[in-house]
Structure 1
Amino acid sequence: MTNWIEKIQSYIIEQGAGTVDNVFRDLMPDDPVVCMALFGDAGEVPEVTFDGKWILHPGLQVQVRDTDSDAARARLDAARAALTTMENVTISGVKYLGVKAMQEPMPLGTDESGAFIIGQNFLVLLSFDAMGTLAAGTKFYWNGAEVAEILSLGDLIAYVDARDVSYRASPFKEYKPGKPGFEPMEIVGTLRKEGGSLSFFAEATSGVIRPCEVRFPSEIGLSINFDAFVSQHRSSFASILRFSAMVHPTGRVRLESSA
């Protein structure tokens, strides 16, 4: 979703609850045996405040491994103590309102070497101005590759390989390079801010004769599915380009096919 878990990793290290050599994120390596691992998930449903701020509630699980169960518990307690001080702290434009424990520490068994693993689940509260993060230099990504950049709030040029879903094709059938009748499209559009919504008005310069409108609803900050309905020059049937969009607190937007 964002780099929030990296910031928490750095914060735990800065608070003395671990080091760069033994605090990891998204994995628990075999070496070193004594280590800590941070895992994130979507957590709870985000909320929006009256002043347009988004509050996200991602989930965090902290796992600690040690050859001694008491030592593992002590290291987990140290991490929890560090996280409780992460209240109303702003890092890289994102405000961390707090980190709260969702349950007591729980034993997770042992690994192949016999080392003890203990874990605890937390809820992280993040606040950011989603609209304010969109500015010149904001990058757009599709399938992990950069496809667009906001030159200004009114201009956006996006180069997209079209994923096609037509009325005569099976749903969500993926565009295949070289397939007759379907070619990658160059989409040039305008990004507009309208109240709490963003709209992307796009028109393809290849294979499309009708502009399409993509609207980012007020749920900016969530994963949003949208369809762009277009017609092709060489055929009379309509096509649907289906994507999902996510705006991160870092200002990044990812466009990814739902196929």
Structure 2
Amino acid sequence: MALTSPTPRTKTLGKAAAKQRMLKQLVCSDAPEQALRHLGFQSIAGVDEVGRGALFGPVVAAAVVLPERMASLAKAGLKDSKQMTREDREKLDKRIRKMALCVSVAEIDAETIDRVNIYQATRLAMLAAVQGLSVQPDHLLIDAMRIDHMCAQTRLFYGDALSLSIAAASVVAKVHRDGLMRELDLVHPVYGLASHKGYGTPQHRRALQEHGPCALHRRSFAPVWAVDPDALLEEQLTGDLMFEEDDLEDAIL
């Protein structure tokens, strides 16, 4: 009986790595906006959030209304903010703010996140960002969510990798929140916020173990609650303790 060589094992990508590979294959364009304009919509706002999986600080949402002609942003490399370097994001943030018909940013703080849960806090941040626009949109393009707004809405999964308007909102929100984390690092230097932006990295978890959480930590998130369980009021804990490991991919240095 002839012996056969064993079939070599294929290395399996982790969930986060597989997602990143998939996202890099998507093309960010104005196709979603053009499809909506074909249906008669004129003022289209892209809406996205950042900081949903962080252990510290607010969740931040942005809403951006771009002009009909936005091809120059695609040529400039606009895409999902997590796929870009800090330098590229900050350059595009300035370009977006200069080019956009209007931009709005909103924050929902850690206390509210603990009280209503991160999903509802994200929706509140998105709603506040839309309500802050100086130009009233007639359609919202939102990354994977719907909000309590009378405006027509399209929920677009992986929207920040497919729609220029949503990508613009993701860049604006991330540049805003990352800047806020660098400022708060000066106030709370023991946590290393400037490097990990409040996400649950090993460095941040070690600092939590050593120093405990501060007032701006999200106490309903498991890594924070585990350090100081008595700090979370029972009525605040509306469901399972929250934290998604996949959200570590947002902690771009």
Normalised-by-shorter TM-score class: under 0.3
Using the size of structure 2 for normalisation, the TM-score is: 0.27
Relative to total residues, which structure has the larger strand share, 1 or 2? 1
Name which one, 1 or 2, has greater alpha-carbon Rg.
1
Relative to total residues, which structure has the larger helix share, 1 or 2? 2
Higher RCO (C-alpha 8 Å, min separation 6): 2
